[in-house]
């Protein structure tokens, strides 16, 4: 979800594009969970603000839509949100899982492990002003209180990050006979 504060700081075309991409990821994620036989529940608006989009098999999940960075094999991490509050990548481990839409699959990474990986790999004091330059560095957007960085998908796979993959698959309702 896009917060009202973030909407106010972004152009309407960007907000509409981001919402469309996220709506597509949500639909694809729900289909994939159902196709895999996983129990899935969409959370309400209040939980979305707390970085929880779904409860899957009893555990909380924050879904991240398909982005250019993930297409390039990188994951953008948010430590502080646009308002300067705790971002979704945090040491509390809430939500339990972060699910990244990679296109052909969804990569679920344990949030606490992702945070620890970032602490090890990223120097947030070394800041840059462009998102494409923030691999292992801190990144803040002008006029916002957020703090982000980036790691690679390879970092997740070769580190001790607990993770699992959910293949993308359309959910087909079974044909019922009369």
The string of pLDDT tens digits covering residues 7-31 is: 555 567 877 888 888 899 999 999 9
Average pLDDT, the chain: 89
CA torsion, ordered 90, 92, 96, 102, to nearest 10 deg: 10
The share of the chain scoring above pLDDT 70, in percent, equals: 88
Q: Report residue 4's pLDDT band, with 50, 70 and 90 as the boundaries.
A: low
pLDDT of the residue at 2 = 47
Q: How far apart are CA 148 and CA 135, in angstroms?
A: 10
Cβ atoms of 11 and 30 closer than 8 Å: no
At 141-155, the pLDDT tens digits run: 999 999 999 999 999
Q: Is the pLDDT of residue 86 over 50?
A: yes
Least confident of 34-48, 81-95, 112-126, 164-178: 164-178
Backbone phi, then psi, for 88, in 5-degree steps?
-75, -20
61 closest CA partner among 92, 90, 40 = 40
Domain ranges of the chain: 4-167
- Beta-carbon neighbour count of residue 118 at 10 Å? 21
CA atoms within 13 A on the CB side of 139: 16
Q: How far apart are CA 52 and CA 49, in angstroms?
A: 7
- Which residues pair with residue 98 across a beta bridge? 62, 109
Q: Report residue 163's pLDDT band, with 50, 70 and 90 as the boundaries.
A: very high
């Amino acid at each position: 979800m896009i917060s009202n504060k973030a909407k106010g700081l972004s152009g309407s075309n960007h907000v509409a594009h981001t919402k469309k991409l996220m709506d597509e990821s949500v639909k694809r994620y729900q289909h994939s969970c159902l196709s895999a036989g996983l129990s899935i529940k969409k959370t309400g608006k209040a939980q979305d603000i707390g970085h929880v989009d779904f409860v899957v098999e009893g555990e909380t999940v924050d879904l991240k839509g398909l982005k250019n960075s993930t297409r390039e094999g990188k994951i953008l991490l948010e430590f502080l949100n646009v308002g300067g509050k705790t971002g979704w990548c945090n040491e509390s481990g809430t939500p339990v899982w972060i699910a990244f839409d990679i296109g052909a699959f969804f990569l679920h990474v344990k949030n606490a492990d992702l945070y620890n990986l970032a602490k090890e790999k990223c120097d947030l004091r070394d800041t840059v002003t462009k998102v494409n330059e923030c691999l292992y560095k801190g990144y803040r957007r002008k006029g916002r209180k957020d703090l982000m960085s980036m790691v690679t998908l390879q970092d997740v796979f070769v580190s001790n990050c607990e993770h699992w993959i959910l293949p993308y698959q359309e959910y087909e309702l079974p044909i019922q006979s009369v």
